[in-house]
Amino acid sequence: MSNPTPHSMSPGSVSPSPVVPRNGLGTAGFVLGLIGLIFSLIPLIGVIAWPLVILGLVFSLIGFFRARGGKATNKGMSIAGIVVSAVGLVMCILWLGAFGNAANEVDKEANRETAIRYEVTGDARNASVSYTTFGDGTTSTSEETVAELPWSKDLTTKGLFSGGSLTVSTGAEGGSVTCTVTVDGQDAKSSTATGQFATASCDGFGG
């Protein structure tokens, strides 16, 4: 009686088909994560990296668990995909925070109020005062004739302050005049003039 040959198979038996590695998602996750990471490093363009790094992270995680379960053979690439996708995601979060802060600063600046005080002192009589006024995002010029000094005017402008002007002129009676501009409590400009038809100009401040 002959012994059966090792690994012999009985008639009619079928050998099991080899398992085909399912490496597609792990590879796709690495590629998407790498592209997303590259885009995330570029200012402004980095915003479009959001879907890439998120998909890359999801696919890489699926690929990793497939590899750990023996259904795939690219465990290393899946881990690399998880790493590059996670780094890209962190960069996207940092960009989002930076854009959010910038938007808040713009909004804050657009609604910021600036207090402006115009003052004119001296001994001149019937001085002519011309100054910039503000309102509804526009500027205009107002004029007053001041019989006796000192004179002052308090104004408020909203949004980005681009500057203004204050000019005072003496008349035929002469005398001295000094114009002073204060912005948010800080001295911004001052000028003095003396004599007939002399002019003191306070401009070029702000902006």
What does each C-alpha distance from 161 to 155, 186, 192 come to in angstroms? 12, 14, 25
For residue range 151-169, what is the model confidence (pLDDT) as tens digits? 999 988 877 777 788 999 9
Short-list 116, 101, 102, CA closest to 164: 116
Does the domain made of 113-205 have the CATH classification 2.40.50?
no
pTM, entire model: 0.51
User: Which is higher by pLDDT, 139 or 150?
Assistant: 150
Strands 151-158, 113-122: pairing is antiparallel
Contact of 54 with 107, CB cutoff 8 Å:
no
DSSP-assigned letter for residue 44: T
Q: In the chain, where are the structural domains located?
A: 24-110, 113-205
Q: How far is it between the farthest Cα atoms of the chain?
A: 144
Mean pLDDT of the chain: 84
Over 50: is that where the pLDDT of 114 sits?
yes
- Amino acid 169: pLDDT: 94
The set of residues, in sequence order, having a beta carbon less than 8 Å from that of 63 and lying 6+ positions away, is: 23, 25, 26, 27, 28, 29, 72, 74, 77, 78, 81
Range with lowest mean pLDDT among 12-16, 46-50, 124-128 = 12-16
Range with lowest mean pLDDT among 2-6, 164-168, 186-190 = 2-6
Q: What is the mean predicted confidence (pLDDT) over 75-100?
A: 89
Q: d(Cα 43, Cα 185) in Å, to the nearest integer?
A: 38
Residue with tokens 């979060």: 93
pLDDT bucket at 22, cuts 50 / 70 / 90: confident
The set of residues, in sequence order, having a beta carbon less than 8 Å from that of 67 and lying 6+ positions away, is: 26, 73, 74, 75, 78
